[in-house]
Amino acid sequence: MSELRECPACAMPTAADAPECEVCGYEFPEPKASFRPSVWLFVGLMLLFALPALRVVGCVG
Ligand SMILES: [Zn+2]
């Protein structure tokens, strides 16, 4: 299964995962690495687990 997207240069459908248009050779711009909520969710979970662990270490040390 391969998704198609319309080339902005020649308006022809081309493979979405192709780096450039198969018809006219138009190079698609790289998708920007935007804000990822999953990363912050991961950081939040790490803090939730890290804070109690630090407290335990502090009591022992
Ligand atoms: Zn094209």
Residue 37 pLDDT level (bands cut at 50, 70, 90): confident
14 CA to centre of ligand 1 in angstroms: 8
13 CA to centre of ligand 1 in angstroms: 8
Please check whether residue 25 is in contact with residue 18, taking contact to mean a CB–CB distance below 8 angstroms. Answer: no
pTM of the full structure = 0.45
Domain boundaries, the chain: 4-29+36-60
Answer yes or no: is pLDDT of 8 > 60.
yes
Answer yes or no: is pLDDT of 33 > 70.
no
Alpha helix positions (H), 1-61: 37-60
14-30 per-position pLDDT tens digit:
998 899 999 999 998 87
